[in-house]
C-alpha cells in the first residue's frame, strides 16, 4: 500500500497513508462522507487536496451515477496519470445502495463514425450478489 504512493511519486504523509488505507479497506466505491467518518481528525481542505492528487495520479477514480453524490474507488496499480487501464463497469445496487466496480472479461466496443471516444463508462443498476440471494 505504501509502495503504491512511492510508485506514483507521491509523498507518503501520515494523512495520505490513512486515506489510502480507508480506500483499501472497502471492496466497493465509497462517498467522501465515509472517508470523513473514518478519519480520526482531518482538515477538509487537506482531504480535498489528497483526493485530487489521488485522482490525478490514478490511485482512485470518481464514479457518479445519475448525477448523484460522487463516490470514489481504488484503482488497479496499472492506472496512471494518463488514464485507467482496467476494464470494469460500475454497478449500483438498488437494495443496499452500494456501488461496485465489476471487472469484465470483454468490454463492449463501440464505433461512432467521425467521432473519437476518449473514455467509455458503463453503468448498471440492479441487485448485487448479496441482495440477490
Round to whole Å and give the CA distance between 42 and 30.
18
| Domains located in the chain, CATH noted | 2-126 (1.10.10.10)
35: pLDDT confidence band, cut at 50, 70 and 90? very high
pLDDT digits (tens, 9 = 90+) for 58-87: 899 998 887 787 899 988 766 666 666 567
- Roughly how many angstroms between the first and final C-alpha of the chain, as a whole number? 33
Beta-carbon count within 10 A of 24 CB: 11
Amino acid at each position: 500500500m505504501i509502495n503504491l504512493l512511492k510508485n506514483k511519486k507521491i509523498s507518503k504523509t501520515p494523512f495520505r497513508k490513512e486515506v489510502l488505507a480507508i480506500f483499501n479497506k472497502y471492496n466497493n466505491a465509497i462517498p467522501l462522507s465515509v472517508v470523513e467518518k473514518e478519519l480520526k481528525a482531518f482538515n477538509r481542505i487537506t482531504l480535498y487536496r489528497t483526493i485530487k492528487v489521488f485522482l490525478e495520479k490514478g490511485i482512485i477514480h470518481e464514479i457518479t451515477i445519475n448525477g448523484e453524490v460522487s463516490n470514489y474507488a481504488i484503482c488497479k496499480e496499472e492506472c496512471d496519470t494518463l488514464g485507467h487501464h482496467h476494464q470494469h463497469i460500475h454497478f449500483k445496487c438498488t437494495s443496499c445502495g452500494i456501488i461496485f466496480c465489476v471487472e469484465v472479461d470483454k468490454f463492449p466496443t463501440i464505433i461512432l463514425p467521425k467521432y473519437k471516444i476518449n473514455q467509455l463508462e458503463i453503468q448498471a443498476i440492479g441487485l448485487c450478489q448479496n441482495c440477490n440471494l
